[in-house]
Amino acid sequence: MVSYVVYPGTFDPVTNGHLDLIERGRRVFGQVIVGVAAAHQKQALFSLEERFALLQQATASMPEVEVERFDGLLVDYLRRKEASVVIRGLRAVSDFEFELQMALTNRQLSSSIETIFLMPSQEYVFLSSRIVKAVASLGGDVSAWVPPVVFEALKKKYPAVAGKRAGAK
């Protein structure tokens, strides 16, 4: 029986959609380890340390969630954690293609790894970190899409976002 699951990603930045999947993982598996990956293939807005800190703050009220940093192959991280189950979010068919390739690659590298796909709540189906950054960079209000701590961090990166709706979830 699996007692915890790993939810890996770059989380640049963490969104309410990510938090929704963390909550779903908690309900199904009991405990979730969120693995914040170094962004070698991406141009990250937030450093690894910033992304780690933002996720820790955003999940502080969830005692069953542990946030860790990792670098390198996911399968190596899973071996170190003695974990065998990964959760990934699927929003659209385009996500499925990429996530299927990643799941099959991970299984090829380690036959003991299983990937469980979770669909987000309907309100977050459109949401991605890329969309959040694009809208924020143009001065749009993203406060309903990210936790308050992330909204404040985005305001520092994109001053045009400052002054938008305060107190949103």
**56: CATH:** 3.40.50.620
Q: Is the pLDDT of residue 165 over 60?
A: no
Q: Is the pLDDT of residue 156 over 70?
A: yes
Token duo for residue 153: 């961090």
Query: Exposed, middle or buried by CB within 10 Å (0-12, 13-18, 19+), for 64?
Result: middle
35 domain-assigned: yes
β-sheet with 114-118: strand ranges across: 65-70, 31-37, 4-9, 85-89, 114-118
Known catalytic residue: 129?
Answer: yes
pLDDT, tens digit, 9 for 90 and up, residues 34-91? 999 997 777 899 999 999 999 999 999 999 999 999 999 999 999 999 999 999 999 8
| Active-site residue identified among 24, 51, 88, 129 | 129
* Mean pLDDT of the 20-34 span: 95
Known catalytic residue: 18?
Answer: yes
168 domain-assigned: no
Provide the domain limits for residue 114: 4-126
Q: Does pTM surpass 0.85?
A: yes
154 domain-assigned: no
| Active-site residue identified among 69, 81, 91, 164 | 91
- Total domains in the chain come to 1
| Active-site residue identified among 18, 26, 88, 133 | 18
| CB distance 11 to 18 below 8 Å | yes
Q: Is the pLDDT of residue 169 over 50?
A: no
Give SS3 for 46: coil
Known catalytic residue: 40?
Answer: no
87 domain-assigned: yes
| Active-site residue identified among 27, 42, 80, 165 | 42
Token duo for residue 105: 């690659």
153 domain-assigned: no
169 domain-assigned: no
Residue 4 has what pLDDT? 84
155 domain-assigned: no
Query: In angstroms, rounded to a whole number, what is the distance separating the alpha carbons of residues 116 and 62?
Result: 21
